[in-house]
Structure 1
Amino acid sequence: MKTAILYFSKYGTTRKVAGMIQSRLKGDEVTMIDLKEEQSPDLSYYDRIIVGSSVYVGSAKKKFKEFCLANYLPLFAIKEVGLFLCGMEPDEFKQQEEMERSFPEELRRHSKARGFMGGELLMEKMNFLDRVIVKKVMKTTESVYNINEKAIDQFVEKMLS
């Protein structure tokens, strides 16, 4: 199956998770597309589209949400779709809220799989303002690795079923 994994990643964690998904899609012809670099890719070639973003202040970036709404909602409706988010929210109810704020309802309803993959706080990559916010909100000055490989495995299993 021809699969496109589209992602929006500020510090690289979502790109890393997209790569982990790619490595688990054995037998698929997988293309990774960074939406910061390629804002209007042609997705007509692909059978399966997986879309992911990082979460900032409870939602995906505005540019990412606009991409989902404006460019491909009609195309997503005729493709097999998977949606994922990367973030540090530990509460499952709040993770679901972040999913709802990040993806349009129609796209969520149509998706074959949805996953909240955990995330990372990479202090060494953050700009000054982001470090200040993380220190205040997350109460940490250290980098944190919290990618949920079990969630990635479950997501891929759903996509392949």
Structure 2
Amino acid sequence: MKNKIAVIYKSKYGSSKRYAGWIALRLDADLYEINDIRGKDLETYNTIIYGGGIYVGKINGIKFINKNYERIKDKKLIVFTVGLDSKEDNFNKLIENNFNKEQLENIKVFNFKGAFDYSKLNLIDKFLMKGLKSSIDRKSIRDLTDDDKIVLEGFEKEIDLCDKKSIISLVENI
């Protein structure tokens, strides 16, 4: 039986949508925006890939996977996140905060770099990013991480770190 794959995403500013599209094309999978699929539809798939951006320590739309977990826990489950933070410790905390112990054993998670353009953010996200910028501005120049520099640059111009090649490890996992 052919491995039937669903790629589902929730995208706020477009990066998760791009990754989901690249993955679906590469795997000849069905592609869904999260609002276009119901939990019961997941039963027809052998593999479910979900992707969402990282916002304030949460994976955008992950409640969909958590809500439907009992229905899909025996399938191959993959989640990809999209954000600017590349610190492994932060990523590990994100995973622990978004999944319970059983889910952590059954779900393979990948992290991809996204894009940032302060001018395109909604009012709430601008407020949150201003807070982050304020904390970065308090650091000395030599203490700035590469991630800090990217965030600061995003206040001046659009930063796009999306990389089609980064999906290779996820695709090979299928």
1:6-155 pair list within 5 angstroms: 6-25=8-27, 28=28, 30-38=29-37, 40=39, 42-61=41-60, 64-70=61-67, 72-111=68-107, 113-137=108-132, 138-139=151-152, 140-141=154-155, 142-155=157-170
Q: How many correspondences in the alignment? A: 152
Higher CA-based Rg: 2
- Structure 1 gaps of 5+ residues are none
1:30-83 per-residue CA deviation (whole Å, 9 max, x = no partner) reads 11111144454511111110111111012224xx2332222x211222211111
Give the letter aligned to residue 60 of structure 1: I
Contact 1:60/1:101 (8 A) holds in 2: no
Rate the CA distance shift 1:94–1:150 in 2: closer, same or farther, 3 A. farther
More helix by share: 2
Distance, in Å, in 1 between the alignment partners of 2:62 and 2:100 is 8
Distance, in Å, in 1 between the alignment partners of 2:39 and 2:45 is 14
Residue 133 of structure 1, CA deviation: 3.0
Distance, in Å, in 2 between the alignment partners of 1:32 and 1:92 is 29
Give the letter aligned to residue 126 of structure 2: R
Distance, in Å, in 2 between the alignment partners of 1:109 and 1:150 is 26
- Structure 2 gaps of 5+ residues are 133-150
Distance, in Å, in 1 between the alignment partners of 2:96 and 2:18 is 23
User: Taking every aligned residue pair, what percent have the same amino acid on both sides?
Assistant: 26
Residue aligned with 1:89, SS: coil
Residue 132 of structure 1, CA deviation: 4.0
Rate the CA distance shift 1:104–1:6 in 2: closer, same or farther, 3 A. farther
